[in-house]
């Protein structure tokens, strides 16, 4: 997906060893469809060459406010006027300090100061509307990051409208470990893409379930299904991108947690029920994406069930019905009940089964799909079923569909 198509990004590099990550960041930005203009501080050129950044961006790199290539000798003005966003990665402690105090002794802080000011909600800005938001990816030693002066400066630049991405935690070039690492290039790319998404769920709280459940038969075996959790995780990411505060209750899957999402891991349907029910009343929206097992063994065996000599079929074991999480949430009293979205993964007769399930669960919106055609895949086709009828969201990657679904939910929510 060319998710940054039509966007022009001004990428600034201040001094720091994390400049090596900026080369990969440029490559990813270009791959995502953005045009990238690189501006480097003198210190940054000690860590990576302008030649490298020019080769990757396809544009001459600007390193000084005295750039003679500018007809009006105002590189700091021209660069910021052309950009949809200024992204500084890495942003050193010294650079952040300059921003916090309005100092402009070199190109990078000068162009940030001279850019058309953008309020913190400028993520909804349209291309070419004149505003230029500022995003910073800090990179420094853990002690520098933790220093009170740095924390004051970071708080100030946030108050002035900058969005701070990270930092990350882990091994540092100095040999120490802690906070202060610049986020990885892919994480910064995702954060930039998220920044430009319309904030249609700003101020909302969204609770989502995702993945399969696992109902243990014995310590080795269990009842489960083929759900990968990818659709639910995509919806969690899309909701967070849209400005929501998102809680994700996930069954046993091996997927990274989307940025900004609070994750709760569970295994069984009962555990998922027990995680969802106390939290549901505090949320505005509940999206039940998880493929929850309808039944579980009445009792879990303490030891592996062994095959007896001459026995071809194990002794039968009793099943009991699992709690219906979606229906239970949908029946909560008025004032405690979030706006509910159900999912139906069917093998056949999708429209009929989806209609019936929506009525049976008592939810305003039911999203249907054919399970065998999507489990484990990166794409999907969704059918939206409500009281007015059905409408299909055509086959696309799951994140694109998740964003479309989030937009649908936002339109249908009652005003607050």
Which tens digits make up the pLDDT trace of 45-104? 999 999 999 999 999 999 988 887 877 777 788 788 889 999 999 999 999 999 999 998
pLDDT of residue 78: 77
Q: Pick the closest to residue 140 from 87, 65, 88, 101 (CA basis).
A: 88
Q: Pick the closest to residue 255 from 190, 211, 206 (CA basis).
A: 211
The runs of H, that is alpha helices, within 168-220 are 185-196
> If you average pLDDT over residues 177-188, what whole number do you get?
95
Kindly tell me if the per-residue pLDDT of 193 is higher than 60: yes
Count the Cβ atoms, other than its own, within 10 Å of residue 116. Answer: 14
Residue range 8-196, CATH number = 3.40.50.1950
pLDDT of residue 45: 96
- Binding-site annotation, residues for CTP: 294, 304, 323-326, 343, 357, 361
Q: Where are the domains of the chain?
A: 8-196, 205-412
> If you average pLDDT over residues 151-162, what whole number do you get?
95
Rg (CA), the chain: 25
Kindly tell me if the per-residue pLDDT of 315 is higher than 70: no
Q: Could you report how far apart the first and last alpha carbons of the chain are, in Å?
A: 34
Name beta bridge partners: 138: 91
Chain centroid to Cα 3, Å, comes to 14
pLDDT tens, position by position, 345-376? 777 878 888 888 899 998 999 998 876 666 76
Number of residues that this document lists for the chain: 416
Structure tokens given for 387: 């009281």
More reliable by pLDDT, 232 or 356: 232
Q: Which residues are catalytic, by number?
A: 174
**Who's near 93: CB < 8 A, 6+ residues apart?**
138, 140, 144, 145, 147, 150, 153
> What percent of the chain stands above pLDDT 90?
66
| 372-374-378 Cα angle (round to 5) | 155
CB 88 within 8 A of CB 12: yes
DSSP string computed for 32-57: TT-EEEEEE-TTGGGTS-HHHHHHHH
**Who's near 287: CB < 8 A, 6+ residues apart?**
206, 207, 208, 209, 232, 235, 239, 341, 343, 409
pLDDT of residue 377: 78
Residue 261's pLDDT band (cuts 50, 70, 90): very high
Kindly tell me if the per-residue pLDDT of 152 is higher than 60: yes
pLDDT of residue 300: 79
pLDDT of residue 393: 87
Rounded CA-CA distance 69/57 in Å is 18
Kindly tell me if the per-residue pLDDT of 218 is higher than 90: no
**Who's near 77: CB < 8 A, 6+ residues apart?**
111, 114
Residue range 205-412, CATH number = 3.40.50.10300
pLDDT of residue 122: 46
pLDDT of residue 337: 94
Kindly tell me if the per-residue pLDDT of 187 is higher than 50: yes
pLDDT of residue 331: 95
CB burial string 122-149: b at 16+ within 10 A, e below: bbebeeeeebbbbbbbbbbbbeebeeee
Residue 156's pLDDT band (cuts 50, 70, 90): very high
- Binding-site annotation, residues: 294, 304, 323-326, 343, 357, 361
pTM: 0.87
Write down the residue that tokens 């249907």 correspond to: 368
pLDDT tens, position by position, 390-416? 888 888 999 999 999 999 999 999 876
Average pLDDT, the chain: 90
Q: Pick the closest to residue 290 from 271, 270, 272 (CA basis).
A: 272
pLDDT of residue 299: 82
More reliable by pLDDT, 129 or 245: 245
Q: Pick the closest to residue 132 from 78, 56, 70, 91 (CA basis).
A: 78
Assess whether the region 8-196 and the region 205-412 belong to the same CATH fold. Answer: yes
CB 392 within 8 A of CB 404: no
Rounded CA-CA distance 136/161 in Å is 11
pLDDT tens, position by position, 104-144? 889 999 999 998 875 555 444 444 556 899 999 999 999 99
CB burial string 326-359: b at 16+ within 10 A, e below: bbebbeeeeeebbbbbbbbbbeeebeebbbebbe
Kindly tell me if the per-residue pLDDT of 305 is higher than 70: yes
Helix 93-100, helix 148-159: angle, nearest 10: 50
Rounded CA-CA distance 130/81 in Å is 7
Long-range pairs for 151-158 at CB < 8 Å and ≥24 separation?
A: 152/100, 153/93, 153/96, 153/97, 153/99, 153/100, 153/101, 154/96, 154/100, 156/100, 157/96, 157/99, 157/100
């Amino acid at each position: 997906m060319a998710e940054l198509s039509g966007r022009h990004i001004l990428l600034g590099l201040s001094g720091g060893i994390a400049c090596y990550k900026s080369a990969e960041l440029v490559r990813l930005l270009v791959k995502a469809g953005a045009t990238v203009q690189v501006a480097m501080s003198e210190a940054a050129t000690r860590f990576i060459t302008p030649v490298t950044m020019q080769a990757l961006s396809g544009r001459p790199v600007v390193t000084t406010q005295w750039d003679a290539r500018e007809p009006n000798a105002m590189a700091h003005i021209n660069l910021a006027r052309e950009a949809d966003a200024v992204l500084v990665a890495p942003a050193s402690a010294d650079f952040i300090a300059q921003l916090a105090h309005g100092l402009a002794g070199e190109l990078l802080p000068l162009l940030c100061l001279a850019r058309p000011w953008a309020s913190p909600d400028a993520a909804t800005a349209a291309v070419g509307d004149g505003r230029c938001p500022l995003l910073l990816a800090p990179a420094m030693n853990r002690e520098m990051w933790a220093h009170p002066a740095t924390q004051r400066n970071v708080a100030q630049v946030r108050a002035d409208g900058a969005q701070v991405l990270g930092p990350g935690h882990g091994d540092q070039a100095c040999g120490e470990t802690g906070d202060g690492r610049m986020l990885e290039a892919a994480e910064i790319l995702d954060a930039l893409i998220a920044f430009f998404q319309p904030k249609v769920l700003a101020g909302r709280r969204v609770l989502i379930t995702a993945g399969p459940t696992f109902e243990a038969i014995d310590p080795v075996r269990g009842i489960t299904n083929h759900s990968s959790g990818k659709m639910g995780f995509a919806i969690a990411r899309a909701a967070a991108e849209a400005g929501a505060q998102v809680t994700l209750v996930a069954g046993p899957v091996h997927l990274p947690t989307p940025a900004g999402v609070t994750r709760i891991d569970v295994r069984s349907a009962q555990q998922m029920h027990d995680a969802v029910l106390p939290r549901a009343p505090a949320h505005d929206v509940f999206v039940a994406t998880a493929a929850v097992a309808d039944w579980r063994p009445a009792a879990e065996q303490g030891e592996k069930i062994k095959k007896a000599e001459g026995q071809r079929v194990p002794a039968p074991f009793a099943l009991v019905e699992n709690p219906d999480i979606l229906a239970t949430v949908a029946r909560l009293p008025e004032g405690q009940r979030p706006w509910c979205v159900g999912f139906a993964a069917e093998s056949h007769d999708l429209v009929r089964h989806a209609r019936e399930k929506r009525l049976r669960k008592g939810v305003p919106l039911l999203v249907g799909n054919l399970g065998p055609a999507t489990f484990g895949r990166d794409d999907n086709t969704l059918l939206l079923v409500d009281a007015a009828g059905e409408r299909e969201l055509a086959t696309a990657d799951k994140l694109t569909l998740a964003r479309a679904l989030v937009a649908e939910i936002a339109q249908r929510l009652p005003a607050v």
